[in-house]
Amino acid sequence: MSLKRRSSRIGPEEDVSFNSPNGSSFEVNKVPNKINTSSRETITTSTLEKYIPPWSEPYIIGVAGYSGSGKTSVSQKIIHELNQPWTVLLSFDNYYKPLTKEESAKAFNNEYDFDTPQSLDLDILVEHLNALKRGEKVDIPIYSFAAHNRTDKVETIYGANVIIIEGIYALYDERLLNMMDLKVFVDTDLDVCLARRLTRDILYRGRDLSGCLKQWELFVKPNLVRYVKPTMMNADLVIPRGSLNEIGINLMIQHVQKKLALKSAIHLQRLHQLGKQYGLDTSHVTTLPNTNYLKGLHSQLLSLETERSDFIFHFDKMGILLLEMGLNKLGPRNYSEKQVITPQGYHAKGVGFEQELIAVSIIRSGDCFMNAIKKTLNDVPIGKLLIQSDTSTGEPQLHCDSLPSYDRSMNQQIFLFDSQIISGAQLIMAIQVLIDHNFHQENITIITYLSTEIGLKRITNVFPNLNQVIIGKLSNGECQHNEEGLKDTDWNFRNRFIDSLYFGTG
Amino acid sequence: MSGKFVERKNNAGYSKPDGPKREAILDLAKYQDQQVRVEFAGGRVVTGILKGYDQLMNLVLEEVKEYIRDPEDDTELTDRTRDLGLVVFGDNVILLPQTNQLIGLYSIIRDKSTKRGDFVFYSDRIIRLLVEEGLNLLPVEECTIQCHGGNEYKGSKFLGKICGVSIIRAGESMEMGLRDCCRSVRIGKILIQRDEKTATPKLFYEKLPEDISDRYVFLLDPMLATGGSAMMAVEVLLSRGVKMDRIFFLNLLAAPEGIKAFNDKYPDVKIITGGIDEKLDENKYIVPGLGDFGDRYYCI
């Protein structure tokens, strides 16, 4: 499975508290109505706290315009300027209906009308958008203009912070219009459009001049005038001259950026609210016992005087202990009775393992456990998630994922590694990603070394059915979890120092 | 140090009855997985969840809390407790918690069809657990640690030094596990082989650290069958001035006969094992056992 890259932007890995960007209580009153109502619904319909991942409320921009007006350039410019991980461009080009044999023959003679709304599979597009909002994986069909048909290939996308829907009929369908937060119409002179269209179709889509002109005269232009032009009335914003209109585009992008900042602030504030409402339920939480050996190990790991080579050595030991504890906490259905024959020919009663183990590490903090994983489970598949916190706000952002696939027929137990739980935001997002990839909450075990009470509370309140959360040391928040007096506010529990020390990046 | 976690079983109170039939007076089955309170002959009192027992009144307790006694008067209990985690109370035998996971690992290494790579990998995993269990028994002293952010941690550090002593050849397979937990540990070696004429073990070679008498010794031999060679190794250690209660004998699998022989002769040596099997067969192999550990580990 390839590592899907979401964005070129890699921020530093600080994961501290949530600071709202201005340090003030952010403009929550100006939240768009849509978001307000949906959050109210979730609170009333569910007694438990619920995490609303950013991808369940994507910011949707529709970009419509005549064929060749520069919709794609404008969309790409938006993507480039926004610089957000998880910006998805959905092009109407991918949603042409597959043609029947007759239609196909017509198409090759340039006699098929591709430019009516009927030639597009808008139902699927609406369905896909809804699925993305639900956090499901969506297979986007890939259309071949040379073959006039859908190819076997699909592009899989999952979740999105920002979705740009681009196509001549982007502002046509009522259902799509209702979902959009911003509707843009790119208005370019039809002569310019024709010139661009000819260049594109002949140079890049393998058509000939006469065919293209025939299509333009017969179908494209009449449809543009009849169907597309009226949709300009649905737009919030019309951009004349397409991508040449830099001021217009920049104004629009500024508006979008403002809206997105507000969205992050709401996301952060919700994360912040989590864990405030309920107490800490420790029925699925295991902290390592405070034995002499472990006390000695904690002392080595927390001490200022420990050299880096020793720190790595001791952390590997701690990692193995945590993982062994996690394995011990797998429920009885992971085991079956088994009889083996020893080399001397005796029968020995024992148990067999009935699960496929999967390790998932959150880059980079979880990577400190790699040695422990290799020493304990030699052939386990290892998935990775890159979740970074935005430097200025502390908002967690998912950048890429590479996960083993879910297999319904197998009992897959997932171990999710992160060396520290500070705010809990990273892990909440990571668990949500796993659940979105069909893994069951009951099969997820979290392995972590240091955890704050508030972070743990957030996680267990949002995901009450996790198999287990294994913690090396839990700090004291409202309750007394450790007799040594380690507190949530202590430096060790508020800073990601473990991976810095482990990987030597200071 | 002795008996810090491991209590000698008492013969007073509830314990094994006299007579040929070794049956427990107490039926502990109904207390399985329940909170129990145990009073020891020496006056210690602990509570914990009963996870396992045998007819010899060896107990496996989880989440053990010991009531701390009044320092002035040993017989007075205070309200203060300390956590001991999972503890086996018995004849100085410490059995690793018999979790499904551990039993699963044993099923792999017992299986004759297991390939050598897996045998080595899973044995090493068990050996690590044994070593860590042993390290947990070492005495510590409280100390205050300066943490990175300036706050303090009331931690502890180990008192005393340790060394490993492996019985050649199979015992050497456990050195890696020890090294994984204590990087620069000193390791001595003892070669003991069976004298074919007398069928008794005979010492051929020993190389031990000079200051071994000051150290806690982890004696490494994967199998405790009759205990012949291990007992001879203990004899060597004692002759070098090692104190008996500072010897920890680590093995993966033990036979009851071997444990008994060991306990009778060296009551203060602690045996840390991952599994106790049924018995020995007529060839003195452990039943069901796992074959010849050295052969399987070193592929002969």
Task: Say what the pLDDT of residue A2 is.
Answer: 42
B226 labelled catalytic: no
Please give the angle made by the CA atoms of A102, A103 and A107, to the nearest 5 degrees.
120
Which of A327, A352, A491 has the CB atom closest to B107's CB atom? Answer: A352
Which of A344, A350, A486 has the CB atom closest to B106's CB atom? Answer: A350
Which token pair is A413? 């137990």
Among B148, B152, B253, B293, the residue to mutate for chain A (most A Cβ within 10 A): B148
Residue A345 carries which side chain, given as an amino acid letter?
A: G
| The residue to which tokens 């201005």 are assigned | A22
Pure H helices in A172-226: 174-179, 190-204, 209-215, 221-223
- State whether A289 and B83 contact (CB < 8 Å): yes
Q: Which of the pair, B5 or A385, is modelled with greater confidence?
A: A385
Rg, Å, chain A Cα set:
27
The confidence band for B42, taking pLDDT boundaries of 50, 70 and 90, is low
Which token pair is B227? 């205990």
> With 80 as the cut, is the pLDDT of residue A169 above it?
yes
Residue A392 and residue A387: Cα distance in Å, rounded?
15
Q: Single out the residue of A269, A291, A259, A283 nearest to residue A52, CA to CA.
A: A269
Phi, psi dihedral angles at A356 (to 5 degrees): -105, 125
Q: Chain B residue with minimal CA distance to A376? A: B125
Distance (Å) of CA A219 to CA A67, A116, A117, A315, B47: 12, 8, 12, 68, 86
Task: Say what the pLDDT of residue A281 is.
Answer: 80
Task: Say what the pLDDT of residue B37 is.
Answer: 84
**B136 secondary structure, DSSP code:** H
Phi, psi dihedral angles at A144 (to 5 degrees): -100, 120
Residue A7 and residue A85: Cα distance in Å, rounded?
5
Give me the percent of chain A exceeding a pLDDT of 90: 18
Neighbours of A152 (CB within 10 A): 7
Q: What mean pLDDT is predicted for residues B166-171?
A: 88
Residue B49 and residue B62: Cα distance in Å, rounded?
5
Q: What mean pLDDT is predicted for residues A17-31?
A: 37
**For B197-218, how does the pLDDT look when each residue is reduced to its tens digit (9 = 90+)?**
776 788 888 899 999 999 999 9
B273: part of which helix (H) or strand (E)?
strand B270-273
Task: Name the average pLDDT for chain B.
Answer: 81
What three-state secondary structure class fits A320? Answer: helix
Q: What mean pLDDT is predicted for residues A139-164?
A: 80
Task: Say what the pLDDT of residue A161 is.
Answer: 82
**For B111-130, how does the pLDDT look when each residue is reduced to its tens digit (9 = 90+)?**
999 999 999 999 999 999 99
A105 reaches B (C-beta below 8 A)? no
Please give the angle made by the CA atoms of B81, B86 and B88, to the nearest 5 degrees.
105
**B270 CA to centre of own chain:** 5
Region of A68 (left: φ > 0; alpha: ψ -120 to 50; beta: rest) is left
Which of A295, A305, A332 has the CB atom closest to B140's CB atom? Answer: A295
A332 reaches B (C-beta below 8 A)? yes
> With 80 as the cut, is the pLDDT of residue A30 above it?
no
Residue A32 and residue A38: Cα distance in Å, rounded?
11
Q: Which residues pair with B186 in a beta bridge?
A: B163
Contact residues, B window 34-73, toward A, CB-based 8 Å cutoff:
63
Q: What mean pLDDT is predicted for residues B252-260?
A: 88
Say which residues have a Cβ less than 8 Å from residue B117's Cβ, sequence separation at least 6.
none
Contact residues, B window 195-254, toward A, CB-based 8 Å cutoff:
none
A301 reaches B (C-beta below 8 A)? no
Residue B244 carries which side chain, given as an amino acid letter?
A: M
Rg, Å, chain B Cα set:
20
Which token pair is B160? 């005393």
> With 70 as the cut, is the pLDDT of residue B54 above it?
no
- State whether B148 and A492 contact (CB < 8 Å): yes
Which of B140, B289, B296 has the CB atom closest to A296's CB atom? Answer: B140
Smallest CA–CA distance, residue B73 to chain A, in Å, is 25
Residues in chain A: 506
Q: Please give the full DSSP string across A8-62, using - where no structure is assigned.
A: S------------TTSS---GGG--HHHHHHHHHHHHH-SS-----GGGS-EEEE
Instruction: Say which range, A422-436, B71-85, B179-193, has the weakest mean pLDDT.
Output: B71-85
Instruction: Say which range, A22-36, A75-89, A484-498, has the weakest mean pLDDT.
Output: A22-36
- State whether B288 and A375 contact (CB < 8 Å): no
A492 reaches B (C-beta below 8 A)? yes
Q: Single out the residue of B172, B225, B163 nearest to residue B194, CA to CA.
A: B225
Residue A250 and residue A258: Cα distance in Å, rounded?
12
Instruction: Give contacts of A313 with chain B, Cβ < 8 Å.
Output: 183
Q: Which of the pair, A459 or A28, is modelled with greater confidence?
A: A459
ipTM: 0.74
Residue B32 and residue B102: Cα distance in Å, rounded?
19
Residues A256, A78 contacting (CB under 8 angstroms)? yes
Residue A235 and residue A10: Cα distance in Å, rounded?
34
- State whether B154 and A292 contact (CB < 8 Å): no
Please give the angle made by the CA atoms of B121, B123 and B124, to the nearest 5 degrees.
65
Domains, chain A, with CATH or none: 54-240 (3.40.50.300), 285-503 (3.40.50.2020)
Q: Which of the pair, A85 or B288, is modelled with greater confidence?
A: B288
A309 reaches B (C-beta below 8 A)? no
Which token pair is A500? 């810095």
| The residue to which tokens 């079983």 are assigned | B9
Q: Which of the pair, B145 or A50, is modelled with greater confidence?
A: B145
